[in-house]
């Protein structure tokens, strides 16, 4: 038993010695490649440059001084290649002697990268995202041609989300426009009106226009909707950034029609209808229309 253990130990020792000798022989046949990588224009060291011995798996990185060391290089002629982000690669051939260090310095020149074009496609309302507020646009010019529009408030009824038009409760009272509900219990909740960039008030300042049983009309309804080209309703607190703090209740921007270059054009609008009186009048009343003599006699009596 002891003889077998001793034989096994001797075998392991012999194998370990042979392996160490092989490694020593291999190490004696290898060398080292070292050097420095710099900027070709300024001569400044390049940090983090990648150095590779072509044809092998040996890789190194440069330090803060731009220096690198690649141990275990095979003997003979090897190609040393260095590269860095934003620089073109550079290569040099070096002769590596067993147990010696081959010094290879490399200088890299600037080579900016040209990226391929990237196309990004998305859906949504780009204008609303950029403005940061909600804007509803009403094509007043087309709407007037297809619907009975009598005033400005008729243009806003059920035409924009978040806009409520409440009818007046007394004679002559104008409709109340509320954008995104009521914001105050003590202050006005009316939106701000702008016509071609000029602010217009909707209040009637005339005294004595209505004393009892009625309310003063809104001056904004004096505008003719047929003269409008478009109406925009700006909603949200971000609208005050463009029109001031009074625009916290919203803004109604009206753009009127303007002349356009080109040939002269005329638009004609006409209506035609027939009124038929279907009432059944007594015979005594008919004489006034059918018998002039009866009409004269009846009128004299």
Whole-number Å distance between alpha carbons of 195 and 197 = 5
* CATH class as words, domain 2-108: mainly beta
The edge-to-edge listing of strands for the beta sheet with 76-83 is 59-61, 50-53, 76-83, 90-96
**Topology adopted by domain 126-256:** Ferric Hydroxamate Uptake Protein; Chain A, domain 1 (2.170.130)
Residue 219's pLDDT is what? Answer: 78
Provide φ and ψ at 145, rounded to 5°. Answer: -75, -20
Residue 163's pLDDT is what? Answer: 82
Q: What is the DSSP string of 23-92?
A: HHHHHHTEEEEEEEEEETTT-PBPTT-EEEETTSS-EEE--TTSEEEEEEEESEEEEEEEE-TTB--EEE
Residue 151's pLDDT is what? Answer: 81
In this prediction the pTM is 0.42
Domain boundaries, the chain: 2-108, 126-256
Whole-number Å distance between alpha carbons of 186 and 236 = 20
* DSSP label at residue 249: G
Ranges of residues in the chain with a pLDDT under 50 are 21-22, 24-26, 128, 294-301
Give the model confidence (pLDDT) of 208-263 as tens digits: 555 555 666 777 878 888 888 888 888 776 677 777 777 778 888 888 888 778 88
Residue 172's pLDDT is what? Answer: 64
Q: What is the CA radius of gyration of the chain?
A: 47
Q: Please answer whether residues 61 and 50 qualify as being in contact, where contact means their C-beta atoms are separated by less than 8 angstroms.
A: yes
Residue 53's pLDDT is what? Answer: 93
Residue 108's pLDDT is what? Answer: 93
């Amino acid at each position: 038993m002891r003889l077998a253990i001793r034989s096994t130990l001797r075998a392991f020792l012999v194998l370990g010695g042979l392996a160490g000798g092989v490694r020593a022989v291999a190490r004696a046949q290898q060398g080292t490649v070292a050097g420095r990588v710099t900027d070709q224009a300024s001569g400044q060291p390049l940090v983090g440059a990648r150095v590779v011995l072509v044809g092998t798996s040996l890789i190194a990185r440069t330090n803060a001084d731009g220096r690198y060391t690649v141990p275990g290089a095979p003997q003979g002629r090897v190609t040393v290649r260095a590269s860095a982000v934003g620089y073109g690669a550079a290569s040099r051939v070096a002769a590596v002697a067993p147990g010696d260090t081959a010094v290879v310095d490399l200088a890299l020149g600037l080579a900016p990268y040209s990226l391929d074009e990237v196309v990004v496609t998305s859906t949504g309302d780009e204008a609303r995202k950029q403005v940061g507020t909600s804007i509803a646009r009403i094509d007043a010019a087309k709407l007037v041609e297809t619907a009975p529009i009598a005033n400005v408030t008729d243009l806003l009824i059920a035409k924009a989300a978040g806009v409520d038009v409440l009818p007046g409760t007394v004679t002559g009272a104008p409709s109340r426009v509320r954008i995104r509900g009521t914001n105050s219990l003590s202050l006005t909740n009316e939106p701000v009106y702008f016509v071609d960039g000029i602010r217009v008030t909707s209040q009637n300042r005339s005294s004595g226009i209505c004393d009892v049983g009625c309310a003063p009309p809104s001056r904004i309804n004096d505008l003719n909707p047929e003269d409008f080209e478009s109406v925009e309703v700006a909603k949200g607190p971000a609208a005050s950034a463009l029109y001031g703090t009074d625009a916290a209740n919203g803004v109604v921007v009206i753009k009127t029609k303007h002349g356009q270059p080109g040939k002269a054009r005329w638009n004609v609008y006409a209506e035609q209808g027939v009124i038929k009186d279907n009432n059944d009048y007594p015979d005594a009343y008919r004489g006034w229309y059918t018998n002039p003599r009866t009409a004269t006699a009846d009128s004299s009596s």
